[in-house]
Amino acid sequence: MKKIEVNNLTKIFGSNPQQGLKRLLNGDQKEDILAETGMTVGVNQASFSVEAGEFFVIMGLSGSGKSTLIRLVNRLIEPTSGEVLIDGQNIVEMGKNDLIETRRKKLGMVFQQFGLFPHRTVLQNVAYGLEIQGVKKEERNKRAQKSIEDVGLQGYEQSYPKELSGGMQQRVGLARALANDSDILLMDEAFSALDPLIRKEMQDELLNLQNKLGKTILFITHDLDEALKLGDRIAIMKNGEIVQVGTADEILENPANEYVSNFVKDVDRSKVLMASHVMKKPAVHMMDKSGALAAVRKMEDAGASSIFVVDKENNFKGLLTIDNAIDAYKKDMAIETVLIEDIHEISPDTPLNDLFGVAVEAKYPLAVVENGKLLGIVSRVSILSGLVLGKEEVTTL
Amino acid sequence: MNYFTLPIEEWTNRFVDDWLLPVTGDFFDSISDSLRTFVDGVTNLLLITPPEVLVLILVLIAWKFSGKGLALFVLLGSLYLGSVELWEAAMQTVAIVIVSTLISVIIGIPVGILAATNKTMANIVRPILDFMQTLPSFVYLIPAILLFGLGNVPAVIATFVFATPPAVRMTTLGILQVPADVVEASKAFGSTKWQLLYKVQLPLAMPSIMAGINQTMMLALSMAVIASMIGAPGLGSVVLEGISTVNVGLGLTGGLGIVVLAIVMDRITQGLVRKK
């Protein structure tokens, strides 16, 4: 089910937005409109939809219109044209009371600079949304208390925002958005003001919370790594337009245009998993005097139907399957003659993403070879677990 | 530069004589009456209360909101006013200051709020405030006499004109200074305009508003003294008497009394701001 649906949403700042809109629809460029009329196109005919329970990230550099876009979704900024459907209802055409009701019941928001009320305690901040709905004090404090616990801030209920660190303040911001129990969370650069360690911690906790609570999240960021980590799907914005929407893999592998590929090129290489991160030490058969029978025993010990063969210097020779080994033993042939040699050899710094295709087609595990020496093997299972677990977990295994 | 003649003086006088006084006279009379009742009521209350009780209350207030120093100063200042037989005059001045400050605040703060939230209103209010602050006070003392007669009523009106601008401006400033993301947060959670105002904007603007009230009070005090020229009773009239009889001693006696009032009022309202 679509929770948020945005169709042709446009925002033009300036003296005569309707005229600007006409020019935009005629295909005029944003730059020309600015130069000739002084009007700024903030968001240009953006369309996307967010499914219930989805984590949808909008990513763009500053000035790309992403913060304007998220404010159009809850109408903190009035759209010039287009529609925003929240649970199928067009928020753009709502009257004042319906709009307020929708904001209260369906949309929570978290801000980059936290936007906490400095004159209220943590508890009063978190309870604010319920307070303005007229929820009785006892009830609203109970619900606020629960979301304070959800974000791990118990004990700080009576503190004022200025007494808390940035990370804790944003927890208050998150708790405040959760307390209303709305299905949708709008998060505007929510973690951008935090230092990297706290930021990672908050990202992890947000993912946990989303798993637990199943919120639909619309998350704005300028950080591609953050987008890749958090987003089920990512929309990339440039100059007020959405240039690509897709999963992290789709965007990494098929950038829609040069802008996106430039973005993607900057992905921190150290965060990309490589073959050496996921390879395992294989059971190997050393090619010496011992013959085919010793190789069969080794396979039995390892419970494998094939074994990688190296020479004394650990130079990779090939793969010996159990059938071939038995065959060689019966016919009393040397192992060399039955080795499968056209095994996929990959270098240790091959990115995991590039291994997908190869691994799917290969019948046997991939051999990680450097300067002719066998370093390890990569199985299909280890590629997948590497992708699921991420770098830290794999390397610490 | 004399290309044409602009008979402002004549027009104004004809407007006042032919329309303002005959047509609106009754209306202004009724305002005048109710204001007089109000000011006299406050004056009488201050005078009926035994000075000792009043001083005790003031000392306690000073102690609570400012500290021992001010409490002691209130005591010494009151002893001074009593010893130079200016207690009654001081209370008359205080009554005018209280009433005109009240009116300034009751009208000024809502206007300030409107000016902060509505651009059109801001454009209307700004030139009016400029006008009120720069027009020499003697200029509106004259119509004040015409419309409200002599005594403490025109004094209150003139004081209101003179002292209201800071209340309006500081209220507007305070509300505009509330951080944009805090206002956005309030709206994003579904506050009505009214909830935004009294749950977020006003509490956060309070220090600024209190500073505005403090300024209004100080201006009201200085105007209450000038207003003695149109017959307002109080410390100002003592000073005025000193001037007209070239009595330096009398002028200083009254002047010191005004200083005492100014310091006490200023410190107490400032203390209120800090306590917030």
Query: How confident is the model over A291-329, as pLDDT tens digits?
Result: 777 788 878 877 777 888 888 777 888 888 888 888 888
Q: What is the nearest CA distance from A163 to chain B, expressed in angstroms?
A: 17
Please report the DSSP string for A260-275 in residue order: HHHHHHTS-GGGS-BH
Residue A160 confidence (pLDDT) above 50: yes
| Alpha-carbon span B106 to B98, nearest angstrom | 12
pLDDT tens profile A41-99: 899 899 999 999 999 999 988 888 899 999 999 999 999 999 999 998 999 999 999 99
Test mutation, A71, A74, A125, A128, chain B, max B CBs within 10 A:
A128
| Alpha-carbon span B247 to B240, nearest angstrom | 10
Q: Which helix (H) or strand (E) holds A316?
A: strand A316-321
| Alpha-carbon span A83 to A74, nearest angstrom | 11
Q: Provide the Cα torsion B198, B203, B209, B210; round to 10°.
A: 130
Q: Which residues of B touch A116 (CB under 8 A)?
A: 182, 185
| A40-51, strands of its sheet edge to edge | A40-51, A2-13, A81-86, A89-90
Q: Which residues of B touch A76 (CB under 8 A)?
A: 184, 187-188
| Alpha-carbon span A22 to A355, nearest angstrom | 49
At A290 the pLDDT is 63
At B167 the pLDDT is 94
pLDDT tens profile B31-52: 888 888 998 999 999 999 898 9
Domains of chain B: residue spans and CATH: 18-275 (1.10.3720.10)
Q: In angstroms, how far is the first alpha carbon of chain A from the final one?
A: 39
Residue B138 confidence (pLDDT) above 70: yes
Average of pLDDT values for A185-193? 91
| Alpha-carbon span A185 to A188, nearest angstrom | 10
Q: Letter for the amino acid at B2?
A: N
Tally of CA atoms within 13 A in the half-sphere of B226 that contains its CB: 20
| Alpha-carbon span B264 to B256, nearest angstrom | 12
Tell me if A115 and B179 make a contact (CB, 8 A cut-off).
yes
Tell me if B185 and A74 make a contact (CB, 8 A cut-off).
no
Q: Residues in chain B whose beta carbon is closer than 8 A to a beta carbon of chain A?
A: 179, 181-182, 184-192, 195, 199-200, 203-204
| Alpha-carbon span A15 to A388, nearest angstrom | 51
Return the structure tokens found at B105. 């605040």
CB pairs under 8 A between A and B: 62
Tell me if B189 and A101 make a contact (CB, 8 A cut-off).
no
Q: What is the nearest CA distance from A200 to chain B, expressed in angstroms?
A: 24
- Contact between residue B204 and residue A160 where contact means Cβ atoms under 8 Å apart: no
Q: Residues in chain A whose beta carbon is closer than 8 A to a beta carbon of chain B?
A: 71, 74, 76, 100-105, 107-109, 111-119, 128-129, 131-133, 176, 180, 186
Tell me if A114 and B188 make a contact (CB, 8 A cut-off).
no
Residue A16 confidence (pLDDT) above 70: yes
- In this prediction, residue A369 has a pLDDT band, given cuts at 50, 70 and 90, of confident
Residue B176 confidence (pLDDT) above 90: yes
Nearest CA in chain A to B204: A119
| Alpha-carbon span A358 to A352, nearest angstrom | 10
Q: Which residues of B touch A119 (CB under 8 A)?
A: 203-204
Residue A319's DSSP bridge partners are: A308, A340
At B276 the pLDDT is 54
Angle at B59 between CA B57 and CA B62, to 5 degrees: 110
Q: What is the nearest CA distance from B102 to chain A, expressed in angstroms?
A: 26
Cβ-proximal residues to A136 (8 Å cutoff; 6+ apart), any chain:
none
- In this prediction, residue B152 has a pLDDT band, given cuts at 50, 70 and 90, of confident
Q: Which residues of B touch A105 (CB under 8 A)?
A: 190
Tell me if B189 and A108 make a contact (CB, 8 A cut-off).
yes
Q: Which residues of A touch B190 (CB under 8 A)?
A: 100-105, 129, 132-133
Q: Find the CB nearest A180 among B185, B189, B200.
A: B189
Residue A148 or A251, more confident: A148
pLDDT tens profile A196-236: 888 888 898 898 888 888 899 999 998 888 888 888 899 99
Residue A395 confidence (pLDDT) above 50: no
Phi first, then psi: what are they for A110, rounded to 5°? -125, 135
Pairing assessment for the beta strands A233-238 and A241-246 based on DSSP bridges: antiparallel
Residue A247 confidence (pLDDT) above 90: no
Please report the DSSP string for A3-18 in residue order: EEEEEEEEEEESS-HH
- The total of other beta-carbon atoms located within 10 Å of residue A349's CB is 13
What number of residues does chain B have? Answer: 276
DSSP A303: T
Residue A397 confidence (pLDDT) above 50: no
| Alpha-carbon span B183 to A243, nearest angstrom | 32
Q: Letter for the amino acid at B107?
A: I
Test mutation, A132, A160, A178, A192, chain B, max B CBs within 10 A:
A132
Please report the DSSP string for A203-263 in residue order: HHHHHHHHHHH--EEEEEES-HHHHHHH-SEEEEEETTEEEEEE-HHHHHHS-SSHHHHHH
Domains of chain A: residue spans and CATH: 2-267 (3.40.50.300), 275-396 (3.10.580.10)
Residue A396 confidence (pLDDT) above 60: no
